[in-house]
Amino acid sequence: MKITDLKCAVFGSNPMVRIVTDAGIDGYGEVEASKNYLKPHIMFYRDFILGQDPTDVERVMLNIRRVGAFKPWGSAVSAIEMALWDIAGKAAGLPVYKLLGGKVRDRVRVYNGAVRFPMSGASPEDYAENMRKMKNSPENFSIIKQGIAFHSQMPHQVPNFSYSDPVPGRWHRNRGLLTERGLNHIIACVEAMKEVLGDEIGLALDCGPGWTVPDTIRLAKALEPLNIMWLEDTITGDYTPYVLADVYREITRATSTPIHTGEQIYLRQNFRELIEGHAVNVIGPDPCDIGGIAELKWVAEYADLHGILMAPHGTGDGLFGLAALVQVCAAMPENYIAFEYPTGKPDWWYDIVDGLPDPIVVDSHIDVWDTPGMGVSFNEKAREYLPEGEEDFFD
């Protein structure tokens, strides 16, 4: 079997990769919805993989892996990797989890990162009300993640929040020392959310990046009695192209509140210092950024050797990304906690993809399916959503 073409089309906001072979088997990989601009970068790799055997996944990846980079550029490499595994599973007549070592679990736990409701403000009451809505969502999530501080509108809506002027924009560079008022406001919001959740549902906090070390330690120690699941990305994260493991280690050693990072990191080599130095308690690589699902599993195994927990990121990965997460998390070691549940946006995604269970999530878990490959596929309705000029994507 040989690769004969690499195609890419943007469905809504998600770039979709399709790898075509001379055996009539194709494979799909999805890029996060926040990266609708990545098609040219994906197509750059076409000539590197043509003529290769797609079932030799590692050999194909060696041709392109080092020509990627930290988020967002690793997404192009990751989508191609997942499409290769889709082909390999279909060619073998096996679900991808079988090719990754087989099941460790029959169902995988997910946490809420994408089933969201608009925030009406940034007060403790607003956070409590928003948490009530998420607690009552039909998925019955056992862990809910909420954005605070620099991963929220607090810098803009809370007067005198920090000693830095707030910077607008999606990829803002907000960073700096919090005022006492700002820190107390965050603590009050977290207390309000925990009052809603009690000890029934775990609360994880998406914090930044942008925090200083002293503020992170102050917050972490203040929240120790609340048994927060983790503080995520206080120092680095999102589109930060470096790791700073030594800085994270200083925080982790100062508190019993679990410290988490990793969604922006590309490739196993860039997790080495975090893991070997026990710089964090939890890592959360995204299969759409780390370099794919095999890379994610490798890092999970290495983290397990060092007593570090795994909670993969995935909020924007879409429905094909969801399928990939189910497959790899089924085969992960026992340091696995849960993965961040992605949704299809807009809602028409659920009309054009076949193979997902209905409902997808029951009591915060997804049953692992046994369909060959990733187990999901486009149906004929998908042609209606092809962008102009991409009509040959399925041909």
DSSP reduced 3-state for 261: strand
- Strand runs (DSSP E) across the chain, as ranges? 3-11, 14-21, 26-30, 107-112, 143-147, 202-206, 230-232, 259-261, 282-283, 309-310, 339-341, 353-354, 365-367, 377-378
Residues of the chain within CATH 3.30.390.10 domain(s) are 3-93+379-385
CB 64 within 8 A of CB 77: yes
- The pLDDT assigned to 167 comes to 80
In this prediction, residue 240 carries a pLDDT of: 94
In degrees, rounded to 5, the angle at the alpha carbon of residue 26 between the alpha carbons of residues 22 and 28 is 150
**Omega cis (within 30) before 72:** yes
* pTM of the model as a whole: 0.97
Topology of domain 98-373, CATH: TIM Barrel (3.20.20)
CATH class assigned to 3-93+379-385: alpha beta
Local mean pLDDT, 10-residue blocks, the chain (395 residues): 98 97 98 96 98 98 96 97 98 98 98 95 97 98 97 94 86 87 98 98 96 98 98 96 98 98 98 98 98 98 98 98 98 98 97 98 98 98 95 95
Residue with tokens 């000539």: 47
Domain with CATH 3.20.20.120 in the chain: 98-373
Q: What is d(CA 291, CA 308) in angstroms, rounded to the nearest whole number?
A: 20
DSSP conformational letter for 11:
E
Burial label for 126, CB within 10 Å (0-12, 13-18, 19+), is middle
- Residue 159's Cβ-count burial label (10 Å; 0-12, 13-18, 19+) is exposed
